[in-house]
Amino acid sequence: MTTPAFSLCVYCGSRPGDNPRFTETARAVGRWIGTHGGQLVYGGGRSGLMGEVAQAARQAGARVVGVIPQALVDKELANRDCDELHIVHTMHERKALMAERSDAFLALPGGIGTLEELFEVWTWHQLGYHAKPIGLLDVAQYYQGLHQFLAGCVRQGFMGEWQLGLVQTGDQVELLLPALVQAAGTAAAAPAPLRSVI
């Protein structure tokens, strides 16, 4: 078994959202990970953007590591097609194992679960518990309101600009993902040449 060139943790919604660009971008992230020799670490679900990024990554040749709590397995939400599916007892175990298995973190659009995961790993970074890069993929300006809110936190003295600087934000997969992989000290493999089907 070939060792992946990098391991990217992706946080995203268990729902697809109402904009087709969310699904398109989740698939593009999965394809990028696979075509560049990487490994996807994610929440182990098969629905919404989570299922899309996992399926696209696997189809593009990535190893897929899912981490899911038993409570969600009991609801038949687990993706059994993962190369590794870790079933844990609590959300705390889930997040800790996902962080341990990853070189960098990326948040796509999602709900309160995605936001909670993003903010926790961001908090860990500012406290020095890890130095792994964090990215926020702002698809269709989904996170514009969050940026405005956080800028207000800075203006009102609850955050520093340096804390905002701990997260790289972008709206293009082809620019943000290589930057995260490079910042992690790992190297994405060159994409495999396309094979003719003729």
pLDDT at 166 over 50: yes
Domains along the chain? 10-142+168-183 (3.40.50.450)
Residue identified by tokens 């860990």 is 124
Distance CA 120, CA 81 (A): 28
Q: What is the pTM of this model?
A: 0.93
pLDDT of residue 194: 39
pLDDT of residue 169: 96
Strand order in the sheet with 104-107: 84-88, 63-69, 39-42, 7-11, 104-107, 134-137, 167-170
Tell me, what DSSP letter sits at residue 141? G
pLDDT at 33 over 60: yes
pLDDT band at 189; cut points 50, 70, 90? low
Percent of the chain whose pLDDT exceeds 70: 94
As to burial, measured by CB atoms within 10 angstroms (0-12 exposed, 13-18 middle, 19+ buried), residue 117 is buried
Distance CA 65, CA 113 (A): 18
